[in-house]
A = this chain, B = another copy of it.
Amino acid sequence: MENREISKAVITRLPRYYRYLGELLESGVERISSNELSTRMKVTASQIRQDLNNFGGFGQQGYGYNVKYLYTEIGKILGIDRQHNLIIIGAGNLGQAIANYANFEKRGFIIKGMFDINPRLIGLVVRGIEIRGVDDLEQFIKDNDVQMAALTIPKTKAPEIADRLVNAGIKAIWNFAHVDLNVPDDVVVENVHLSESLMRLSYRVCSMQDRKKEEERKARGES
Contact = CB atoms under 8 A, between A and B. Distances in A.
User: Which size class do A's interface residues fall under?
Assistant: 35 or more
A198 B147 CA distance: 13
A190 B14 CA distance: 18
Contact of A97 (B92, B101, B211): B92
Nearest to A205: B172
Interface of A: 3, 6, 11-12, 14-16, 18-19, 77-80, 82, 84, 92-94, 96-98, 100-101, 103-104, 107-109, 147-148, 171-172, 174, 178, 186, 188, 190, 192-209, 211-212, 214
29 contacts: A12-B200, A14-B200, A15-B195, A16-B196, A18-B199, A19-B193, A19-B195, A77-B203, A78-B206, A79-B199, A79-B202, A79-B205, A80-B199, A80-B202, A82-B202, A92-B97, A93-B96, A93-B97, A94-B97, A107-B195, A108-B202, A148-B205, A171-B208, A171-B209, A172-B201, A188-B204, A188-B205, A190-B200, A190-B204
